[in-house]
Amino acid sequence: MVANTLDEVIIQRQSAFPYAKGDLSRMLMHIAIAAKIVSREINKAGIIDILGEANNVNVQGEEQQKLDIYANNQFISAIKSSGICAGIASEEDDDIIILDDELSRNGHYVVCMDPLDGSSNIDVNVSVGTIFAIYRRVTEPGTKVQREDFLQPGNKLAAAGYVLYGSSTMLLYTTGLGTTSFTLDPSIGEFILTDERMTTPDDGKIYSINQGNFHSFPRGVKEYLIYSQETDKATNRPHSLRYIGSLVSDFHRNLLKGGIFIYPETEKNPNGKLRLLYECNPIAFLAEQAGGKATDGQGNRILDIQPTDIHQRVPLYVGSKKMVDKAEEFNRKFKD
């Protein structure tokens, strides 16, 4: 049987898409094209002069890496060429990007994206990722998009996904009908179906958090980490801390093996570090669609949070349902 490519799966499922005019299909295919181009550049970054810092600082106050800018440009042009996206909110751009050509202005969708998340890891050859979230616009097609088109809760998402540039390049997406994964076969330039409907374990032994911030964590998080390091009588071993400082990589490992990723409030980031629109929401959507859970640690479902700013940050507790519940139990018990 011929292996299913991303395009084949998207088209086969098109009938299951709401508003199945093929728009969303086309958008996902264009995102996949940009992913292949960025993957090629990342995989030869050590050879060509594209590593290192671009002597620029983005809206987050973070040093922009040359590949950050390259990836941002590739995804913007690929999404724009789909002709159905009217605007983009990117981690790399202060404000929304209004696509105001005739075709785009009539587009029914907007995209929120982190074009290259974890990019500070590029120079040390640690996996990085692209994260995207697709909404139907709420303003009238034919007009310029407004910020309200982007400030929608994650429960309104039409689709979301990520590309993981790791030992292999993988693409995961969901339209609310389960989380599906593909692996790039660079020899034919196709994303090949890997898992039609992913399910994440209900429980696990892996916790992912930047332990270096321990002293500034809320009391409940500290107590949960102490609990996680105690030997589990059933298995006679404690949990394992796995953290490589690249959200997509840390999340993807836990999605497959079972685990929890936590980025809570810290002194430096009192609302957590990760951005709601283009990191937490898409990751939460993928997690829930694979049977996992994603909250802000205080019982609020990430996908129900009403955004107020395109670069808004929220605390993120995401992964195996029982582990998220356990961490929240400690937050309730040890409220600061």
Beta carbon nearer to ligand P6P, 199 or 211: 211
Is 120 near ligand P6P (CB under 6 A)? yes
235, exposed or middle or buried, with CB in 10 Å at 0-12, 13-18, 19+? exposed
138 φ, ψ (degrees, to nearest 5): -100, -15
In terms of Cα–Cα distance, which of 256, 268, 287, 250 is closest to 117? Answer: 250
Site string for ligand P6P, 263-292 (x = CB under 6 A): ----------x-------------------
Beta carbon nearer to ligand P6P, 84 or 276: 276
Q: Which of 23, 68, 92, 117 binds ligand P6P (CB under 6 A)?
A: 117
Q: Which of 115, 118, 161, 319 binds ligand P6P (CB under 6 A)?
A: 118
Beta carbon nearer to ligand P6P, 127 or 320: 127
In terms of Cα–Cα distance, which of 50, 208, 246, 18 is closest to 131? Answer: 246
Beta carbon nearer to ligand P6P, 183 or 210: 210
Beta carbon nearer to ligand P6P, 88 or 247: 247
Minimum CB–partner distance for residue 247 and ligand P6P (Å): 3
Token output for 321: 């349902």
Is 142 near ligand P6P (CB under 6 A)? no
Q: How many residues bind ligand P6P (CB under 6 A)?
A: 9
Token output for 273: 């570090």
Is 216 near ligand P6P (CB under 6 A)? no
Single-letter amino acid code for the residue at 231:
T
Binding segment toward ligand P6P, per CB under 6 A, in 44-52, 75-83, 179-187, 241-249: 241-249
Is 210 near ligand P6P (CB under 6 A)? yes
Which helix (DSSP H) or strand (DSSP E) does residue 24 occupy?
Answer: helix 23-43
Minimum CB–partner distance for residue 273 and ligand P6P (Å): 5
Q: Rounded distance, CA 267 to CA 216, Å?
A: 6
Quick one: DSSP state of residue 62?
P
Binding segment toward ligand P6P, per CB under 6 A, in 24-32, 112-120, 179-187, 232-240: 112-120
CB atoms within 10 A of CB 127: 22
Which segments within the chain are labelled E, that is strand? 53-57, 63-65, 85-90, 97-98, 109-117, 128-136, 157-165, 169-174, 179-185, 190-195, 206-208, 240-241, 259-263, 293-295, 316-319
Minimum CB–partner distance for residue 118 and ligand P6P (Å): 4
Is 245 near ligand P6P (CB under 6 A)? yes
Contacting positions for ligand P6P (CB under 6 A): 117-118, 120, 210, 245-247, 250, 273
